[in-house]
Amino acid sequence: MFNILWLQAGSCGGCTMAALTAEDRGLIQALKAFDVNVLWHPALSLETGEDALGILQDVLDGRQSLDALCVEGSVLRGPGGSGRFQMLAGTDRSMAAWIADLALRARYVVAVGTCAAFGGIPMADGAVTDACGLTYEGDEAGGLLGSNFRSRSGLPVINIAGCAPHPDWICETLGLLATGGMEAAQLDAFSRPRFYADHLAHHGCSRNEYYEFKASAKRFSHLGCLMENLGCKATQAAGDCNIRSWNGSMGSCPDAGFPCIACTSPGFEQPTDAFQETAKRAGIPIGLPVDMPKAWFIALAALSKSATPERVKSNAVSDHVVVPPARLGESE
């Protein structure tokens, strides 16, 4: 039996909402396939009040083993480092203090979502809560537990970044830990599991034909590529979002007509421009594919646009296919 404890810090609850759709069975049932036992989850468990606090205290006192501590949401350290912006109900201790103590008991510590990983939305400019992630503040190492933190397994905090993360990322990470553990080599530079972070959100995007020809949408109802005008960062964002299905069917952000905002990345909550606008310099998008030299991209973009079929040009700025592909024996 692999025991996990799930706490919600400064959270909107979106990561739990995402987990409810795991494998069409929900988080609890999906994890049972890996012999994972949820000791307590604030939204999904029956225990409340003294019974819930008793579970946490048993872990702290060593009466209950803890394999993985899962934290959802940013840690609120304010005001003045007291953590009293978020107290655990029924106790006189801050959630930050509970997390710090329970992390020492856990074999693994898992940050569920970008807020727990990097601080996320609650640490954007203007926030007064002194929010942070477990071992990061944006892209800077530190956070609540410090950059040198290692759990009893010897691993750093495992960051399942995403706002919200795909439910499979949560289940597969916990499943890996329960059935054999993980090694440091299976985590990327930001301690995200590489099974999803080694992909780009761009991979498998249903709009890739439009991207290849640089045939761009001009507004959100259009079918074209969302990168040139509407702020899509899928060519820069870690994640296999467009390869996996969401909620039982295809349903990534670009599929739904909304640009990727790189929510798996530290600092996504505070882009240089509005989320739905592409930052440009001299008419050229600033955020180009991460692994392509800018000069090459510009040259290929010019070539692609010169070869764009009329079908692709027309469909890119329409909300439905107006010109179908040529059939065998036909010409465009």
Give pLDDT, residue 288. 72
Place of tokens 């059939």: 327
Token code pair at residue 76: 């609120």
Per-residue pLDDT of the chain (332 residues; tens, 9 = 90+): 999 999 999 999 999 999 888 877 788 888 999 999 999 999 999 999 999 999 999 999 999 999 999 999 999 999 999 999 999 999 999 999 999 999 999 999 999 999 999 999 999 988 899 999 999 999 999 999 999 999 999 999 999 999 999 999 999 999 999 998 899 999 999 999 999 999 999 999 999 999 999 899 999 999 999 998 999 999 999 999 999 888 766 678 998 889 999 999 999 998 877 888 887 777 777 777 777 777 777 787 778 888 899 999 999 999 999 999 887 666 55
Q: Which domains are delineated in the chain?
A: 2-196 (3.40.50.700), 199-322 (4.10.480.10)
What is the full DSSP assignment across 26-82? Answer: -HHHHHHTTTEEEEE-TTT-S--HHHHHHHHHHHHTTSS--SEEEEESBEE--STT-
**CA geometry: angle at 114 spanning 108 and 118, to 5°?**
80
Classify residue 100 as left (phi > 0), alpha (psi -120 to 50) or beta: alpha
Partners of 38 in the β-ladder: 4
DSSP H helices in the chain = 14-19, 27-32, 49-60, 95-105, 114-118, 167-179, 194-197, 208-212, 227-230, 294-306, 310-316
Smallest Cα–Cα separation from 310: which of 220, 239, 227, 215? 215
In DSSP terms, 110 is beta-bridged to 70, 158
Specify the 3-state DSSP secondary structure of 92.
coil
Q: Is 15 left (phi over 0), alpha (psi -120 to 50) or beta?
A: alpha
- How many whole angstroms separate alpha carbon 300 and alpha carbon 80? 52
Within a 13 Å sphere around the CA of 109, how many CA atoms are in the beta-carbon half? 25
Rounded CA separation 210/11 (Å)? 36
Q: Residue 193 contacts by C-beta under 8 Å, 6 or more apart in sequence? A: 158, 160, 169, 172, 173, 176, 182, 186, 187
From 316, 108, 303, 283, select the one nearest 210 (Cα to Cα): 316
C-alpha dist (Å) from residue 255 to 167, 201, 322: 18, 12, 18
Instruction: Report the alpha-carbon distance of residue 217 to residue 319 in Å, rounded.
Output: 9
pLDDT of residue 250: 66
Handedness of CA 259, 264, 269, 271 (dihedral sign): negative
Q: Which amino acid is at 201?
A: A
User: Could you check whether the bond before residue 156 is cis, i.e. omega within 30 degrees of 0?
Assistant: no
Q: Which H or E run includes 141?
A: strand 140-141
> Residue 326 gets which letter from DSSP?
P
